[in-house]
């Protein structure tokens, strides 16, 4: 039985998407060294997600089939959501007091 990503038959610009995904998975395993701290890992992930947003948006813009456009648009938007979540995590690591103020929406009486 085939497993993901081999089950993805989609071809874009004469490249099988499953081939791209397999290569991407290999690269992800090499990105972060074992001794990387949490903030470094989050920043690496932010960069990775930002590149994913751009990559899928470019794929969306390069195809003409409406279903392919919708698929790549969905992937781009998902990557953007991941990016925003990681930026939020980065803010927590860098300035947790400000993060808590923003998340809790605290204010003084009379403000």
**pTM reported for the whole predicted model:** 0.62
Mapping DSSP to helix (H, G, I), strand (E, B) and coil, where does residue 98 land?
Answer: helix
Residue 8 tokens, joined: 């993805």
Residue 104 tokens, joined: 């809790």
Residue 10 tokens, joined: 């989609």
Which pLDDT band, with edges at 50, 70 and 90, does 42 fall under? Answer: very high
**pLDDT tens digits, 53-103:** 999 999 999 999 999 999 999 999 999 999 999 999 999 888 888 888 887
**pLDDT tens digits, 70-83:** 999 999 999 999 99
């Amino acid at each position: 039985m085939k497993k993901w990503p081999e089950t993805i038959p989609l071809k874009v610009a004469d490249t099988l998407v499953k081939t791209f995904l397999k290569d991407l998975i290999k690269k992800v395993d090499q990105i972060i060294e074992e001794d990387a701290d949490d903030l470094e890992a989050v920043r690496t992930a932010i960069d990775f997600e930002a590149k994913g947003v751009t990559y899928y948006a470019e794929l969306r813009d390069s195809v003409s089939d409406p279903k392919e456009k919708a698929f790549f648009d969905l992937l781009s938007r998902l990557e953007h959501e991941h990016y925003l979540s990681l930026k939020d995590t980065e803010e927590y690591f860098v300035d947790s007091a400000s993060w808590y103020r923003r998340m809790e929406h605290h204010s003084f009486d009379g403000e």
